[in-house]
Structure 1
Amino acid sequence: MIPILSNSDIKYYDSTITLKKDQISHAIAINTENSYLLISCQSYIEIYRIYEKQLRLIQQINCHKRRVSSLCFFKSNRLFISGSFDSYIILWSTALINRSKYLQKFIGHTQSISCILTRPIIEDLIISCSADFSIKFWSQQIENNQQWICFQTIREHRNIVWGISINQQGSQVISCGEDKQILVMEQNQKPSSNWFVKQLIQVNQSGFRLCYINNNIFVFQPESSANLNIYTQNKNQEYILTKNIQVLGEAQFCYPYFHSIYNYEKQILINKNGYFLNIIKFNNNIKESQKFTQYHNDDLDIYAQTVQVINFEDNYIFGTLSNDGQYLITWNKLSKELQVSKYQENF
C-alpha cells in the first residue's frame, strides 16, 4: 500500500477566485484556453468569462427539463455538450460564445446521464453513460447531414453506470458503476469499427469514478474506501489490481458526478472520496524518485505521492480540472461557493 504523504515542496492548488452560488452545480467545464467556464445550475447552464481575479457571467442557457449533470468542451473549443437528469444530451456551438447555439439533441438514453466524454485527439466520437445501465457511442454521419447518431450501445453493466474514462490514444474505454464491475472496452482496428468488451473485472465494491493514468494503467476508487486501486496491464494485456494508494474519505457517504481527472502534463490526479479531494502526483522520473513512494510491476516503475488533501466537510462536491492542469474549479454545498484554484509552486 502507498501511504498518505505530504510534501510542501510539491506543487499544489490555492484558491484565487471565489463566487457565491446558492444553487447546486452538478457539472463544471472549462475550455482548453482557460477563458470560458460552464457551470450547471439546476436545469440551465451559465457561461462565464474568466479573468485574472474575477468571473463575468455572459450567457444563461435553459434547454434541459431537469438538472444538468454533465458538461464537456470539445478540445477545439468549437463545441460543447451537456447531459441531464432528463436523459437527453445536447450539442452546442460556441462560434459566438456569448450566443451559444443549440445544434442537436441526442435521444437514446432512457434515464439520467452520468458522464459524457469525447475522444481526446480526433473529435469524431462522443461516449456517454447513464442510469439506464448502458454506455453509448455516438459519431457524425455524412449521410445524415452531419448529424450525430448512436452507432453502438453496450449493455454489459447490470446497474447504474457512474463513470467512464478514455485513454490518451483514444483506443480504449473503461467504465464502473453500482454493479461492482469494471468494463474494459476496445475499438476494432478500423476507426469506424464497433467497440467490444475486452475484459470484465469483478470488484468488491461499487464505485463512482475511475481514470486512466496512461495507456497501460488506470485507477479505480471504490465507494468510500480508504484505498484507491491501481490497475496495470500485464504481459497478456489484461488489467490486474497491482497496488493501492491510501486516500482520505473512508466510510464517509460519497456523492457521484465529480469524476476523477488525470492531467498528463503535470502528472496530477484529482480524486474525490467522501468529504475529501485527494490530489496525487505521479512521477516516472528516476532522478526524482526520492520524493515519491515507489511500486514495481513487470519492470514498470511508478512513483506516487499525495501532495494535497482538501477537506470540504461535506460530500456534495463537484468540479473539474483545466486541460493544462493550471486551474482546479470546485463547488460544494456547505460553503455554496464556486472556487477557482490556481496551480502554485511552493519551494
Structure 2
Amino acid sequence: MQIRCTQIGNHSQQINVVCIEKDCQNLRICCPSCIFQHAHHLLSLISLERLNEWIKQRMETIFVIQNSISEFKLELNDIINLNTKQLLEIGDSRIEVLIKGFWKFDDFVRLQFSLLQSSIYNIRQIVKDVTTCFKDNILQQQSFNYPKGLLNPQIQDIKFKDFNQPMPQIVHNRDQCRAIAMNKDCSIVLGGYDQYIKVFEHKIGKLKQIQLLNEHSSNVITLNFMKKSNHFISGSCDKIIIIWQMNQINQWVYLQKLIGHDSSIFCLLINKNEDLIISGSQDKSIKFWQKQDKWQYSQSITDHIDIVRSLSLNEGQDKLISCSDDQFILIIQQSLKDKIWSVVQKIQVDYQGFRLCFIDENLFTFQPYCKQQMYVYEMNRNTKLYWKIQDIKVNCGSKNCSLFPQQYIKSKGILVNKNGKFINFMRKKENGEFLNEFSIQFEVDEIFGQLSDDGKYLITWDSYSREIKITNYKNL
C-alpha cells in the first residue's frame, strides 16, 4: 500500500522516509520533498523498511545490559561465598574500594532507575496503542500515523545528492571516542576510546567489535592505517606512538613503540613508501621517524611555539605543511641532497587552526579556528612562496573544533572539512575554485571521523549520540 504525503505544498509523493533524530520538531515520516525540513540532521533519516532494524538494535542494547548484569551477579557470588577469614585476607584497601564502589552504584541506581521506569512505561503505552489500532483496523482511516506500508514496505532507498543513509551503528554509549580510522578496503574500522583502541569488522555498513587493544596508558588521539602493509599507527596523550601489525592468527599486536615526544601526540602522517612517520605534538615539535631495520628517530622541527594541530604531505612527498595554536603555518621542505627537512616559509594567520590539507603541489587549504571561512593558499610560480588567494564560506555554528583532519579525495575532487558542528563537503572545480556542495550539521561540535579512501563511506562519532555512524555515498 502506498501512502501519499499530505503536507501543505502539494507534495503528494509516496512516504518513504522516517526521521530518528532525538529532538526533531518536524513530522517524523515524510516524502522526498520533505527532506529539506531535516537538513540539519540528514544522518538521522532512514527508509521506512529500516525502522524495524533500528528498533531491533535498541532491543539488542537491552540484551547487552541483561548479560552484563548477569555476569556481574555471578562475579558478586564469588565475594558472597567467601568466609570471614578470607574477607579479612582481601585487605583493607580492597574492601575500601569495594564498599565505595557499591555506594556509587547505589547512587546511580537511585538516580537513573526512576527515569528508566518512566521511559519503559511510555514506550509500552505506545506499543499497546499501536497494537490496538491494528487490531481495530483504525489505520485505514488515518492518513499518516502508522501506515500499513510499515508491515510490508515496497520502498526505494532514500537518495539525496546520491546520498544513501544506512543504519546508525550503536557501538558504545559511554566511553569517549577521540579518533577513527578505516583501512584501505574498508573492512576494518578503528576507534580510539579513552586509552583503548577498539577494532571493528566492517561489512556493508555494519560493525562488529573483534578486538580491544590496551597498550596505551592515556587517551588515543590519532589513528592512521598504512596503505601498502597490514599495519597501523596510533598516537596518544601518553606521549607514545605505537606501530601495530596483524599476526598470523589475524590479531593486532604492537610491533614497536616510538618514544621521544614530551607531551601528547596530536597528529600523525605516513608517507607513501611507508618508511617515514611524521608526528606533531603538544610539546610544540614535529618529529620525523625513519624505518630501517626498525623505526627510529630522525630529526625534529621546533619552529612552532605552541601545540602542533595538523600536518599534511604533498603528492611529491617532499613538502610538509603544519598549523599550530601559535597562528603560524609552516612550509617545510626536504632537500634533495641530504634529505634533511627544513622550514622554507612561515605564514602568519589571523586565527589558530586545527586542520589543513594539500590539494595538489601548488595548492592547500586551511581552516581557521571556528571561522565561517576556509582559506585557500597557492604557490607563486616565480617566488615559490604560498599566498592566500581565496576565502570560501563554510558552515560552523560553534566555538569548539575538536580533532577531525581535513581530507582531500583526489579521485573524487572532494574535500571534507569539519568546522564546529558541521562537516562541509567541498568540490574542486576545473578552474581550481572550491564549491561548498553540502554540509551535515550535528547537535554538538565534538565530532570525530574520516572519509574512506574511495570516498564511499563517511564514518563519524559525536558526543551527542555517542554512536559510530557509517554513511554510504553512492556517487559522491
> Shift of residue 303 of structure 1?
3.3
> Shift of residue 327 of structure 1?
1.1
TM, length-normalised to structure 2 = 0.64
**Aligned residue runs from structure 1 range 133-212, under 5 A:** 133-141=284-292, 146-190=293-337, 193-212=339-358
8 Å CA contact 2:166, 2:205 repeated in 1:
no
Q: 1:243 corresponds to which residue?
A: 390
**Paired residue for 1:64, among 216, 221, 234?**
216
User: More strand by proportion, 1 or 2?
Assistant: 1
> Shift of residue 254 of structure 1?
1.8
Are positions 1:80 and 2:238 aligned together? no
> Shift of residue 104 of structure 1?
0.7
Q: 1:296 corresponds to which residue?
A: none
Q: In structure 1, what is the Cα distance between the partners aligned to 2:434 and 2:323?
A: 23
> Shift of residue 18 of structure 1?
2.0
Q: 1:124 corresponds to which residue?
A: 275
Runs of at least 5 residues in structure 1 that lack an aligned partner in the other structure: 1-7, 285-300
Q: 1:214 corresponds to which residue?
A: 360
Q: In structure 1, what is the Cα distance between the partners aligned to 2:255 and 2:163?
A: 38
Q: Which residue type is aligned with residue 285 of structure 2?
A: S
**Aligned residue runs from structure 1 range 275-314, under 5 A:** 275-284=421-430, 301-314=431-444
Deviations 1:248-293 (A, max 9, x none): 115x212332111111111111111111111111132xxxxxxxxx
> Shift of residue 168 of structure 1?
1.6
Q: Give 3-state SS (helix, strand or coil) of 1:21's partner.
A: coil
Q: Give 3-state SS (helix, strand or coil) of 2:169's partner.
A: strand
**Paired residue for 2:458, among 312, 328, 345?**
328
Q: In structure 2, what is the Cα distance between the partners aligned to 1:327 and 1:207?
A: 26
Q: In structure 1, what is the Cα distance between the partners aligned to 2:221 and 2:249?
A: 21
Number of equivalences: 316
Q: 2:473 corresponds to which residue?
A: 343
State which structure, 1 or 2, has the greater radius of gyration over its C-alpha atoms: 2
Q: In structure 2, what is the Cα distance between the partners aligned to 1:217 and 1:15?
A: 34
TM, length-normalised to structure 1 = 0.87
**Paired residue for 1:254, among 400, 411, 422?**
400
CA RMSD across the alignment: 1.7
Name the structure, 1 or 2, with higher relative contact order (CA <8 Å, separation 6+).
1
8 Å CA contact 2:190, 2:223 repeated in 1:
yes
Q: Give 3-state SS (helix, strand or coil) of 1:80's partner.
A: strand
Q: In structure 1, what is the Cα distance between the partners aligned to 2:164 and 2:436?
A: 13
Q: In structure 2, what is the Cα distance between the partners aligned to 1:222 and 1:207?
A: 4
Q: In structure 2, what is the Cα distance between the partners aligned to 1:95 and 1:111?
A: 30
Q: Give 3-state SS (helix, strand or coil) of 2:329's partner.
A: strand
Q: For structure 1, which segment, 9-18 or 223-232, has the greater mean C-alpha deviation from structure 2 after superposition?
A: 9-18
Q: Give 3-state SS (helix, strand or coil) of 1:204's partner.
A: coil
> Shift of residue 63 of structure 1?
0.6
Runs of at least 5 residues in structure 2 that lack an aligned partner in the other structure: 1-158
Q: In structure 1, what is the Cα distance between the partners aligned to 2:172 and 2:324?
A: 29
Q: In structure 1, what is the Cα distance between the partners aligned to 2:166 and 2:316?
A: 32
**Paired residue for 1:229, among 375, 389, 414?**
375
CA distance change for structure 1 residues 161 and 239 in 2, over 3 Å: closer, same or farther? Answer: same
> Shift of residue 114 of structure 1?
0.5
